[in-house]
Amino acid sequence: MIFTVAIDGPAAAGKGTISRAVAAEFGFAHLDTGLIYRATGRRVLEGEDPLAAAQALEPEDLAADGLRTPEVAQAASRVAAIPEVRAALVAFQRRFARREGGAVLDGRDIGTVICPEAEVKLFVTASDEVRAGRRWHEEQAAGHGTTLAEVLAELRARDARDAAREAAPMRAAADAVVLDTSEMDIAAAVSAAVAAVRGRLGA
Ligand code: CDP
């Protein structure tokens, strides 16, 4: 069975948690496409050329430590605005999306560019303050000393760049279901996403 769940949305909206839960529920494969841009951004921070870095990316790079830092997130967002970098990363993502057995991909342009034919499209969002609060808690748990104000500024800078770029800007597909999780806990957000997938699978 070919079945793609596209989950897009701004930084720290809960896409990752929802994607992993949906993939586990239905036995689908999961690809966090942010890691592709983070791994490319990290190579650029180490001095590589952005396009060469994207072309040289290996699947193992996505499992590397240290991809979740704010510096790497900003570097990811900068390389993600370069059209040639995005183009170099499309084929891998498309193949993953249409693999046999079902796939969940989360990112910014999955429902609009990578897989416009996805069977289910969700755009997961939440207020800036709620998203910053969630990311700050994660960073505290990981032992980083960032302040809430710094986290909020980092998210807003990245969202602005991701939404304004010309190449595959972050936006909800016309046929996406928008899930605002500002007032939802994770269990409620996951059950809304699972219900959307179940509804389409049963259709
Ligand atoms: O985890 P968080 O939501 O903060 O970010 P991420 O999903 O890991 O993505 C990091 C950065 O990669 C984003 O800010 C985007 O600039 C870029 N990205 C993208 O352009 N397209 C995607 N499909 C996924 C990520």
pLDDT tens digits for 96-107? 999 999 999 999
d(CA 203, ligand 1 centre) in Å: 31
Give the span between the Cα atoms of 129 and 182, in whole angstroms. Answer: 9
Answer whether 11 contacts ligand 1 (Cβ < 6 A). Answer: yes
Q: Is the dihedral of CA 56, 97, 179, 14 positive or negative?
A: negative
Token pair of 24, please? 């586990």
Answer whether 158 contacts ligand 1 (Cβ < 6 A). Answer: yes
d(CA 61, ligand 1 centre) in Å: 16
From the list 39, 18, 163, the residue with the least C-alpha distance to 92 is 39
Q: Which residues contact 101 (CB under 8 A, 6 or more apart)?
A: 1, 27, 28, 29
The pLDDT value recorded for residue 63 is 95
* Banded pLDDT at 58 (limits 50, 70, 90): very high
The atom number, within ligand 1, closest to the CA of 93 reads 23
pLDDT tens digits for 110-149? 999 999 999 999 999 999 999 999 999 999 998 888 999 9
Answer whether 76 contacts ligand 1 (Cβ < 6 A). Answer: yes
Give the span between the Cα atoms of 7 and 121, in whole angstroms. Answer: 6
Pairing of strands 29-32, 103-107: parallel
